Structure 1
Amino acid sequence: MSDWVVRLIEQSGYLGVGFLMFLETIFPPIPSEVIMPVAGVSAAKGQMSFALAVASGTAGAMLGNIVWYLAARALGHDRLRPIIRRHGKWLTMDWKDVERVHHFFDDHGIALVMLGRLVPTIRSIISIPAGLLDMRFRNFVIASTIGTAVWTALLTGAGFKLQENFHRVGDIIGPVSNVVIGLIIIVYIWRLFTHKVASED
Protein backbone atom coordinates (compact mmCIF):
# COMPACT_ATOMS: atom_id res chain seq x y z
CA MET A 1 0.00 0.00 0.00
CA SER A 2 2.66 2.53 1.04
CA ASP A 3 4.76 1.89 -2.10
CA TRP A 4 1.77 2.69 -4.31
CA VAL A 5 1.05 5.84 -2.32
CA VAL A 6 4.69 6.96 -2.59
CA ARG A 7 4.72 6.43 -6.36
CA LEU A 8 1.45 8.29 -6.93
CA ILE A 9 2.53 11.26 -4.83
CA GLU A 10 5.92 11.37 -6.56
CA GLN A 11 4.24 11.35 -9.96
CA SER A 12 1.23 13.58 -9.25
CA GLY A 13 2.37 15.88 -6.45
CA TYR A 14 -0.34 17.94 -4.75
CA LEU A 15 -3.05 16.56 -7.03
CA GLY A 16 -2.07 13.04 -5.99
CA VAL A 17 -2.19 13.99 -2.30
CA GLY A 18 -5.67 15.50 -2.68
CA PHE A 19 -6.93 12.56 -4.73
CA LEU A 20 -5.64 10.01 -2.23
CA MET A 21 -7.16 11.86 0.71
CA PHE A 22 -10.48 12.01 -1.14
CA LEU A 23 -10.32 8.24 -1.67
CA GLU A 24 -9.32 7.74 1.97
CA THR A 25 -12.45 9.56 3.09
CA ILE A 26 -14.74 7.64 0.73
CA PHE A 27 -12.95 4.30 1.14
CA PRO A 28 -11.33 4.28 4.63
CA PRO A 29 -9.03 1.23 4.10
CA ILE A 30 -6.72 3.67 2.27
CA PRO A 31 -5.16 5.20 5.41
CA SER A 32 -4.42 8.89 5.88
CA GLU A 33 -1.62 7.87 8.25
CA VAL A 34 0.26 6.66 5.18
CA ILE A 35 -0.75 9.37 2.69
CA MET A 36 0.07 12.52 4.63
CA PRO A 37 3.34 11.32 6.20
CA VAL A 38 4.55 10.48 2.67
CA ALA A 39 3.67 14.05 1.67
CA GLY A 40 5.57 15.22 4.74
CA VAL A 41 8.65 13.27 3.63
CA SER A 42 8.42 14.94 0.21
CA ALA A 43 8.20 18.33 1.93
CA ALA A 44 11.28 17.52 4.02
CA LYS A 45 13.18 16.72 0.82
CA GLY A 46 12.13 20.02 -0.74
CA GLN A 47 9.93 18.34 -3.35
CA MET A 48 6.77 19.94 -1.94
CA SER A 49 5.73 22.92 0.11
CA PHE A 50 4.64 21.78 3.58
CA ALA A 51 1.73 24.25 3.61
CA LEU A 52 0.50 23.27 0.16
CA ALA A 53 0.78 19.57 1.01
CA VAL A 54 -1.44 20.15 4.05
CA ALA A 55 -3.84 22.29 2.01
CA SER A 56 -4.17 19.73 -0.78
CA GLY A 57 -4.70 16.88 1.68
CA THR A 58 -7.30 18.89 3.57
CA ALA A 59 -9.11 19.86 0.35
CA GLY A 60 -9.26 16.26 -0.87
CA ALA A 61 -10.50 14.98 2.48
CA MET A 62 -13.09 17.74 2.71
CA LEU A 63 -14.47 16.85 -0.70
CA GLY A 64 -15.03 13.31 0.55
CA ASN A 65 -16.51 14.58 3.81
CA ILE A 66 -19.01 16.69 1.91
CA VAL A 67 -19.98 13.74 -0.31
CA TRP A 68 -20.85 11.67 2.78
CA TYR A 69 -22.66 14.59 4.42
CA LEU A 70 -24.81 15.26 1.35
CA ALA A 71 -25.59 11.54 0.92
CA ALA A 72 -26.73 11.32 4.55
CA ARG A 73 -28.65 14.60 4.25
CA ALA A 74 -30.42 13.25 1.15
CA LEU A 75 -31.49 10.15 3.09
CA GLY A 76 -32.90 12.46 5.72
CA HIS A 77 -33.73 12.38 9.38
CA ASP A 78 -37.39 11.44 8.91
CA ARG A 79 -36.58 8.44 6.72
CA LEU A 80 -34.84 6.88 9.70
CA ARG A 81 -38.19 6.35 11.44
CA PRO A 82 -39.25 3.13 9.64
CA ILE A 83 -35.69 1.79 9.96
CA ILE A 84 -35.68 2.48 13.70
CA ARG A 85 -39.18 1.01 14.06
CA ARG A 86 -38.20 -2.20 12.28
CA HIS A 87 -34.63 -2.68 13.51
CA GLY A 88 -34.53 -0.69 16.75
CA LYS A 89 -33.69 -3.75 18.84
CA TRP A 90 -30.51 -4.44 16.89
CA LEU A 91 -29.66 -0.76 16.48
CA THR A 92 -30.17 -0.44 20.26
CA MET A 93 -32.22 2.73 19.92
CA ASP A 94 -35.76 3.95 19.58
CA TRP A 95 -37.11 7.18 18.11
CA LYS A 96 -36.81 9.02 21.42
CA ASP A 97 -33.09 8.19 21.39
CA VAL A 98 -32.82 9.63 17.89
CA GLU A 99 -34.53 12.82 19.02
CA ARG A 100 -32.23 13.14 22.02
CA VAL A 101 -29.15 12.73 19.81
CA HIS A 102 -30.66 15.23 17.37
CA HIS A 103 -31.05 17.86 20.10
CA PHE A 104 -27.55 17.14 21.41
CA PHE A 105 -26.17 17.61 17.88
CA ASP A 106 -28.06 20.90 17.59
CA ASP A 107 -26.31 22.17 20.70
CA HIS A 108 -22.87 20.62 20.35
CA GLY A 109 -22.56 19.54 16.70
CA ILE A 110 -19.70 21.89 15.84
CA ALA A 111 -17.52 20.59 18.70
CA LEU A 112 -18.49 16.96 17.98
CA VAL A 113 -17.55 17.19 14.31
CA MET A 114 -14.36 19.14 14.96
CA LEU A 115 -13.13 16.71 17.62
CA GLY A 116 -14.43 13.70 15.69
CA ARG A 117 -12.09 14.58 12.83
CA LEU A 118 -9.18 14.00 15.22
CA VAL A 119 -10.20 10.51 16.34
CA PRO A 120 -9.16 7.53 14.19
CA THR A 121 -12.15 5.57 12.82
CA ILE A 122 -14.64 8.21 14.08
CA ARG A 123 -13.17 10.81 11.72
CA SER A 124 -14.21 8.74 8.71
CA ILE A 125 -17.88 8.42 9.70
CA ILE A 126 -18.77 11.60 11.59
CA SER A 127 -20.13 13.15 8.37
CA ILE A 128 -22.99 10.64 8.36
CA PRO A 129 -24.71 11.61 11.63
CA ALA A 130 -24.03 15.28 10.81
CA GLY A 131 -25.98 14.88 7.58
CA LEU A 132 -28.72 12.66 8.98
CA LEU A 133 -29.33 15.02 11.89
CA ASP A 134 -29.57 18.10 9.67
CA MET A 135 -26.49 19.93 10.88
CA ARG A 136 -26.24 23.26 9.07
CA PHE A 137 -23.97 22.87 6.05
CA ARG A 138 -21.95 25.98 6.89
CA ASN A 139 -21.28 24.77 10.43
CA PHE A 140 -20.39 21.31 9.14
CA VAL A 141 -17.89 22.72 6.64
CA ILE A 142 -16.27 25.04 9.18
CA ALA A 143 -15.94 22.38 11.90
CA SER A 144 -14.82 19.69 9.47
CA THR A 145 -12.27 21.92 7.79
CA ILE A 146 -10.67 22.92 11.08
CA GLY A 147 -10.54 19.35 12.41
CA THR A 148 -9.37 17.90 9.10
CA ALA A 149 -6.68 20.56 8.67
CA VAL A 150 -5.31 19.86 12.16
CA TRP A 151 -5.28 16.09 11.54
CA THR A 152 -3.66 16.51 8.14
CA ALA A 153 -1.04 18.92 9.49
CA LEU A 154 -0.15 16.58 12.36
CA LEU A 155 0.36 13.64 10.00
CA THR A 156 2.32 15.73 7.51
CA GLY A 157 4.47 17.08 10.33
CA ALA A 158 5.13 13.55 11.57
CA GLY A 159 6.31 12.53 8.10
CA PHE A 160 8.44 15.67 7.86
CA LYS A 161 10.09 14.82 11.18
CA LEU A 162 10.45 11.07 10.78
CA GLN A 163 11.18 11.04 7.02
CA GLU A 164 12.18 7.49 6.02
CA ASN A 165 10.76 6.17 9.30
CA PHE A 166 7.29 7.53 8.47
CA HIS A 167 5.88 4.00 8.84
CA ARG A 168 6.07 4.54 12.61
CA VAL A 169 3.06 6.85 12.32
CA GLY A 170 0.89 3.91 11.34
CA ASP A 171 2.40 1.84 14.16
CA ILE A 172 0.99 4.40 16.60
CA ILE A 173 -2.36 5.21 14.98
CA GLY A 174 -3.18 1.59 14.10
CA PRO A 175 -3.47 0.45 17.74
CA VAL A 176 -5.44 3.61 18.62
CA SER A 177 -7.91 2.76 15.83
CA ASN A 178 -8.22 -0.77 17.20
CA VAL A 179 -8.96 0.59 20.69
CA VAL A 180 -11.66 2.89 19.30
CA ILE A 181 -13.25 0.03 17.35
CA GLY A 182 -13.05 -2.19 20.44
CA LEU A 183 -14.79 0.45 22.58
CA ILE A 184 -17.53 0.84 19.97
CA ILE A 185 -18.12 -2.92 19.98
CA ILE A 186 -18.16 -3.08 23.79
CA VAL A 187 -20.65 -0.22 24.06
CA TYR A 188 -22.84 -1.82 21.37
CA ILE A 189 -22.88 -5.20 23.14
CA TRP A 190 -23.65 -3.53 26.46
CA ARG A 191 -26.56 -1.61 24.92
CA LEU A 192 -27.77 -4.72 23.13
CA PHE A 193 -28.30 -6.46 26.46
CA THR A 194 -29.47 -3.48 28.52
CA HIS A 195 -31.43 -1.23 26.18
CA LYS A 196 -35.19 -1.56 26.04
CA VAL A 197 -36.86 -0.14 22.95
CA ALA A 198 -39.70 2.15 23.96
CA SER A 199 -42.98 2.00 22.13
CA GLU A 200 -43.77 4.99 19.91
CA ASP A 201 -46.59 7.35 20.75
Structure 2
Amino acid sequence: MTERILPFLIHFVTQVIGSLGYAGIAALMGIESACVPLPSEIIMPFAGYLVYTGRFSLFWAATAGAIGCNLGSVIAYWVGAAGGRPLVMRYGRWVLMSHHDLDRMTHFFEKYGTITVLVGRLLPVVRTFIAFPAGVARMPQLRFHVYTFIGSWPWCFGLAYVGMKLGEKWHTDPRFEQAFHRFHLVVELGLLAAVIWFVWSHINRFRQASEA
Protein backbone atom coordinates (compact mmCIF):
# COMPACT_ATOMS: atom_id res chain seq x y z
CA MET A 1 0.00 0.00 0.00
CA THR A 2 2.80 2.40 0.94
CA GLU A 3 4.44 1.80 -2.45
CA ARG A 4 1.28 3.06 -4.17
CA ILE A 5 0.27 5.89 -1.84
CA LEU A 6 3.70 7.46 -1.35
CA PRO A 7 4.43 8.12 -5.05
CA PHE A 8 0.98 9.69 -5.44
CA LEU A 9 1.53 11.97 -2.44
CA ILE A 10 4.99 12.96 -3.64
CA HIS A 11 3.63 13.76 -7.11
CA PHE A 12 0.76 15.79 -5.64
CA VAL A 13 3.03 17.75 -3.29
CA THR A 14 5.63 18.52 -5.94
CA GLN A 15 2.98 19.65 -8.43
CA VAL A 16 1.28 22.00 -5.95
CA ILE A 17 4.51 23.56 -4.65
CA GLY A 18 6.01 23.69 -8.14
CA SER A 19 2.97 25.56 -9.45
CA LEU A 20 2.09 27.82 -6.52
CA GLY A 21 5.42 28.43 -4.80
CA TYR A 22 5.22 29.70 -1.23
CA ALA A 23 1.41 29.72 -1.45
CA GLY A 24 1.55 26.01 -2.29
CA ILE A 25 3.61 25.31 0.84
CA ALA A 26 1.10 27.24 2.95
CA ALA A 27 -1.87 25.47 1.32
CA LEU A 28 -0.44 21.97 1.83
CA MET A 29 0.59 22.61 5.42
CA GLY A 30 -2.89 24.06 5.97
CA ILE A 31 -4.43 20.80 4.75
CA GLU A 32 -2.28 18.86 7.22
CA SER A 33 -3.32 21.10 10.13
CA ALA A 34 -7.00 20.73 9.22
CA CYS A 35 -6.84 17.11 10.48
CA VAL A 36 -6.08 15.66 7.03
CA PRO A 37 -3.05 13.35 7.27
CA LEU A 38 -0.99 14.87 4.43
CA PRO A 39 2.54 14.39 5.76
CA SER A 40 4.61 17.48 6.38
CA GLU A 41 7.55 15.07 6.20
CA ILE A 42 7.00 15.12 2.42
CA ILE A 43 5.88 18.74 2.00
CA MET A 44 8.70 20.59 3.73
CA PRO A 45 11.67 18.51 2.53
CA PHE A 46 10.59 19.13 -1.07
CA ALA A 47 10.35 22.84 -0.27
CA GLY A 48 13.87 22.50 1.13
CA TYR A 49 15.01 20.90 -2.11
CA LEU A 50 13.73 23.98 -3.95
CA VAL A 51 15.76 26.08 -1.50
CA TYR A 52 18.80 24.13 -2.73
CA THR A 53 17.89 24.89 -6.35
CA GLY A 54 17.67 28.59 -5.52
CA ARG A 55 13.92 29.00 -6.01
CA PHE A 56 13.04 29.50 -2.34
CA SER A 57 14.57 31.09 0.74
CA LEU A 58 14.89 28.68 3.68
CA PHE A 59 13.52 31.31 6.09
CA TRP A 60 10.49 32.10 3.96
CA ALA A 61 9.78 28.45 3.17
CA ALA A 62 9.60 27.72 6.92
CA THR A 63 7.49 30.83 7.48
CA ALA A 64 5.05 29.87 4.72
CA GLY A 65 4.73 26.42 6.30
CA ALA A 66 4.02 27.89 9.75
CA ILE A 67 1.45 30.30 8.30
CA GLY A 68 -0.24 27.37 6.58
CA CYS A 69 -0.39 25.50 9.90
CA ASN A 70 -2.28 28.44 11.39
CA LEU A 71 -4.68 28.71 8.47
CA GLY A 72 -5.56 25.02 8.54
CA SER A 73 -5.88 25.06 12.31
CA VAL A 74 -8.70 27.60 12.08
CA ILE A 75 -10.98 24.95 10.57
CA ALA A 76 -10.12 22.18 13.03
CA TYR A 77 -10.21 24.57 16.00
CA TRP A 78 -13.70 25.87 15.23
CA VAL A 79 -15.07 22.43 14.46
CA GLY A 80 -13.92 21.41 17.94
CA ALA A 81 -15.13 24.64 19.55
CA ALA A 82 -18.56 24.58 17.85
CA GLY A 83 -19.21 20.84 18.09
CA GLY A 84 -17.47 20.10 21.36
CA ARG A 85 -18.75 17.28 23.56
CA PRO A 86 -22.04 16.73 21.63
CA LEU A 87 -20.06 16.19 18.41
CA VAL A 88 -17.83 13.60 20.08
CA MET A 89 -20.74 11.87 21.81
CA ARG A 90 -22.68 11.60 18.56
CA TYR A 91 -19.97 10.89 15.99
CA GLY A 92 -16.85 10.13 18.02
CA ARG A 93 -17.10 6.37 17.65
CA TRP A 94 -16.73 6.70 13.89
CA VAL A 95 -13.26 8.20 14.40
CA LEU A 96 -12.53 6.12 17.52
CA MET A 97 -12.82 9.07 19.91
CA SER A 98 -14.73 8.38 23.14
CA HIS A 99 -16.03 10.72 25.85
CA HIS A 100 -13.13 9.42 27.97
CA ASP A 101 -10.69 10.77 25.36
CA LEU A 102 -12.55 14.08 25.35
CA ASP A 103 -12.42 14.34 29.16
CA ARG A 104 -8.70 13.62 29.12
CA MET A 105 -7.98 16.14 26.35
CA THR A 106 -10.10 18.85 27.96
CA HIS A 107 -8.42 18.37 31.34
CA PHE A 108 -4.98 18.42 29.78
CA PHE A 109 -5.69 21.60 27.83
CA GLU A 110 -7.14 23.33 30.88
CA LYS A 111 -4.01 22.49 32.87
CA TYR A 112 -1.24 22.55 30.25
CA GLY A 113 -2.74 24.41 27.29
CA THR A 114 0.41 26.22 26.17
CA ILE A 115 2.69 23.19 26.49
CA THR A 116 0.15 20.99 24.69
CA VAL A 117 0.21 23.12 21.54
CA LEU A 118 3.95 23.79 21.56
CA VAL A 119 4.89 20.14 22.09
CA GLY A 120 2.12 18.79 19.86
CA ARG A 121 3.31 20.86 16.90
CA LEU A 122 6.71 19.20 17.18
CA LEU A 123 5.38 15.62 17.12
CA PRO A 124 4.56 13.60 13.98
CA VAL A 125 0.86 12.64 13.63
CA VAL A 126 -0.10 14.53 16.83
CA ARG A 127 0.54 17.86 15.09
CA THR A 128 -2.07 16.97 12.45
CA PHE A 129 -4.91 16.64 14.99
CA ILE A 130 -3.89 18.96 17.84
CA ALA A 131 -6.16 21.86 16.80
CA PHE A 132 -9.41 19.92 17.31
CA PRO A 133 -8.96 19.21 21.05
CA ALA A 134 -7.68 22.77 21.50
CA GLY A 135 -11.00 23.99 20.14
CA VAL A 136 -12.97 21.56 22.30
CA ALA A 137 -11.08 22.83 25.35
CA ARG A 138 -11.80 26.43 24.24
CA MET A 139 -8.16 27.47 24.48
CA PRO A 140 -8.02 31.26 23.83
CA GLN A 141 -7.76 31.50 20.07
CA LEU A 142 -5.16 34.26 19.86
CA ARG A 143 -2.87 32.38 22.23
CA PHE A 144 -3.52 29.17 20.32
CA HIS A 145 -2.44 30.70 17.02
CA VAL A 146 0.62 32.40 18.52
CA TYR A 147 1.85 29.12 19.97
CA THR A 148 0.87 27.22 16.85
CA PHE A 149 3.17 29.48 14.86
CA ILE A 150 5.98 29.29 17.43
CA GLY A 151 5.72 25.50 17.58
CA SER A 152 5.32 24.99 13.82
CA TRP A 153 8.13 27.21 12.56
CA PRO A 154 11.05 25.11 13.92
CA TRP A 155 9.37 21.93 12.62
CA CYS A 156 8.99 23.44 9.14
CA PHE A 157 12.49 24.91 9.20
CA GLY A 158 14.07 21.62 10.30
CA LEU A 159 12.36 19.54 7.60
CA ALA A 160 13.14 22.13 4.92
CA TYR A 161 16.76 22.21 6.05
CA VAL A 162 16.95 18.42 5.74
CA GLY A 163 15.51 18.66 2.22
CA MET A 164 18.04 21.34 1.31
CA LYS A 165 20.96 19.23 2.55
CA LEU A 166 19.61 16.14 0.80
CA GLY A 167 19.46 18.17 -2.39
CA GLU A 168 23.10 19.13 -1.99
CA LYS A 169 24.32 15.60 -1.28
CA TRP A 170 21.82 13.35 -3.07
CA HIS A 171 23.85 12.78 -6.23
CA THR A 172 27.31 13.12 -4.70
CA ASP A 173 27.10 11.05 -1.52
CA PRO A 174 25.23 7.69 -1.79
CA ARG A 175 25.19 7.39 2.01
CA PHE A 176 22.55 10.12 2.17
CA GLU A 177 20.13 8.22 -0.05
CA GLN A 178 20.67 5.00 1.93
CA ALA A 179 20.19 6.76 5.27
CA PHE A 180 17.04 8.49 3.98
CA HIS A 181 15.43 5.19 2.96
CA ARG A 182 16.29 3.59 6.32
CA PHE A 183 14.86 6.58 8.18
CA HIS A 184 11.69 6.47 6.08
CA LEU A 185 11.21 2.76 6.85
CA VAL A 186 11.62 3.29 10.61
CA VAL A 187 9.12 6.17 10.60
CA GLU A 188 6.55 4.19 8.59
CA LEU A 189 6.86 1.13 10.87
CA GLY A 190 6.55 3.32 13.97
CA LEU A 191 3.45 5.08 12.64
CA LEU A 192 1.89 1.75 11.64
CA ALA A 193 2.46 0.32 15.14
CA ALA A 194 0.98 3.44 16.74
CA VAL A 195 -2.13 3.31 14.52
CA ILE A 196 -2.66 -0.43 15.22
CA TRP A 197 -2.36 0.11 18.98
CA PHE A 198 -4.71 3.11 18.90
CA VAL A 199 -7.40 1.31 16.89
CA TRP A 200 -7.13 -1.92 18.92
CA SER A 201 -7.32 -0.17 22.31
CA HIS A 202 -10.29 1.99 21.31
CA ILE A 203 -12.25 -0.87 19.75
CA ASN A 204 -11.77 -2.85 22.97
CA ARG A 205 -12.95 0.12 25.01
CA PHE A 206 -16.10 0.57 22.91
CA ARG A 207 -16.78 -3.18 23.05
CA GLN A 208 -16.48 -3.23 26.84
CA ALA A 209 -18.73 -0.19 27.14
CA SER A 210 -21.42 -1.81 24.98
CA GLU A 211 -21.28 -5.03 27.03
CA ALA A 212 -21.56 -3.19 30.35
TM-score, scaled relative to structure 1: 0.77
Partner of 2:155: 151
Over residues 106-148 of structure 1, what are the superposed CA-to-partner deviations in whole Å (9 max), with x where a residue is unaligned? Answer: 1112111221122222211111111112111123112222222
Partner of 1:2: 10
The answer to whether structure 1 residue 140 and structure 2 residue 148 are counterparts is no
CA distance 1:57–1:32, shift in 2 (3 Å): same
Identity %: 29
Secondary structure of 2:199's partner?
helix
CA distance 1:23–1:193, shift in 2 (3 Å): closer
Partner of 1:19: 27
Is the 1:121–1:181 Cα contact (8 Å) retained in structure 2?
no
CA distance 1:22–1:92, shift in 2 (3 Å): closer
Instruction: Choose between structure 1 and 2 for higher RCO, CA contacts under 8 A separated by at least 6 residues.
Output: 1
Query: How far apart, in 2, do the equivalents of 1:18 and 1:98 lie?
Result: 29
CA distance 1:195–1:153, shift in 2 (3 Å): farther
TM-score, scaled relative to structure 2: 0.74
Partner of 2:122: 118
Over residues 71-122 of structure 1, what are the superposed CA-to-partner deviations in whole Å (9 max), with x where a residue is unaligned? Answer: 2111134x358649x97xx85545xx75564333211121112211222222
Is the 1:72–1:132 Cα contact (8 Å) retained in structure 2?
yes
Is the 1:113–1:140 Cα contact (8 Å) retained in structure 2?
yes
Is the 1:25–1:61 Cα contact (8 Å) retained in structure 2?
yes
Is the 1:120–1:176 Cα contact (8 Å) retained in structure 2?
no
Unaligned runs of 5+ in 1: none
Partner of 2:191: 177
Report the RMSD for the aligned CA atoms in angstroms.
Answer: 3.2
Instruction: Give the aligned length.
Output: 192
Unaligned runs of 5+ in 2: 1-8, 171-176
Segment drifting more, 29-38 vs 162-171: 162-171
